[in-house]
Amino acid sequence: MDITATKEPAGIVAIEADALAGRQLRYYDFAMAAFAVILICSNLIGAGKPAQLTLPIFGTVTFGAGILFFPLGYVLGDVLTEVYGFARARRVVWAGFAASVFAAAMAFVVVSLPPSPDWSGQAALAEVFGQVPRIFFASIAAFWAGEMANAFVLARMKVWTGGRMLWTRTIGSTIVGQGVDSLIFYPLAFLGVWKTSLVIHVLFTNYLLKVLWEVILTPVTYRIVAFFKAAEGIDVFDTRTDFGLFKTEV
């Protein structure tokens, strides 16, 4: 693919991902921090709670409470891959992975420390932050695999489409990434804990809702991508990128 032939808005230059080396990026660090925050909060708050709402048309729907916010991480992951390329998105995924491990380790230590005899909040603290190891490991494994799949599919589709039709790759990558995430997380975390029928129901319900979330947020994704590209003055294509997953260099 000849990226120099792509039609870009004024002030934006199409470049290879490896051409970003040494370039000053205005918003990459902020996007990385936001991604880590969304991920940590999604894992600590609501990951293990099945919620239930009665919705028009759909009726009574049971879903994981974290679904309301966790997909925002995928939206931001789409933005990072689209604007900065696969390698920098991969670096953010690894940063989020490390942040999640630290948050879980800190929660474990804090909950495990013997409380002061005159403090009565230990049971509540343990209930909220006492992560079940199985759920934690299922969560970070599913997150890592899902986000990597999401970034890979989006980066490859961007080259295939010549940078056109952003919606096809944001939705397409989400279909794959969220599918990988859901198929790993729910069986690993809840089979044998919840009824199998509930695991399957929540898995498919959450998957469909996550994809629907992505579709609904597509106009927002377009605006954020346009803002970042204009601010950075670049449109990155991964035509020469090393797609190895176990790397952090850019």
- Rounded Cα–Cα distance for residues 27 and 100 (Å): 22
Q: Which residue has the higher pLDDT, 32 or 126?
A: 32
Does residue 48 carry a pLDDT above 80? Answer: no
Radius of gyration of the chain (CA): 20
Confidence of residue 138 (pLDDT cuts 50, 70, 90): confident
Percent of the chain scoring above 70 in pLDDT: 92
- Range 117-124 average pLDDT: 86
pLDDT of residue 69: 75
pLDDT of residue 73: 80
Query: Which has the closest alpha carbon to 137: 101, 106, 99?
Result: 101
The tens digit of pLDDT for each residue in 219-240 reads 999 999 999 999 999 899 999 8
Percent of the chain scoring above 90 in pLDDT: 39
Confidence of residue 173 (pLDDT cuts 50, 70, 90): very high
Does residue 132 carry a pLDDT above 70? Answer: no
The tens digit of pLDDT for each residue in 208-219 reads 888 888 888 899
- Side-chain half-sphere of 64: how many Cα atoms within 13 Å? 32
Q: Which residues, in sequence order, are CB contacts of 152 under 8 Å at separation 6+?
A: 86, 243
Contact 158, 241 (CB under 8 A): no
Domain ranges of the chain: 3-115+124-237
Confidence of residue 2 (pLDDT cuts 50, 70, 90): low
Under CATH, which architecture does the 3-115+124-237 domain have?
Answer: Orthogonal Bundle (1.10)
Total count of residues recorded for the chain: 250
Query: Which has the closest alpha carbon to 57: 200, 220, 212, 175?
Result: 212
Does residue 55 carry a pLDDT above 70? Answer: yes
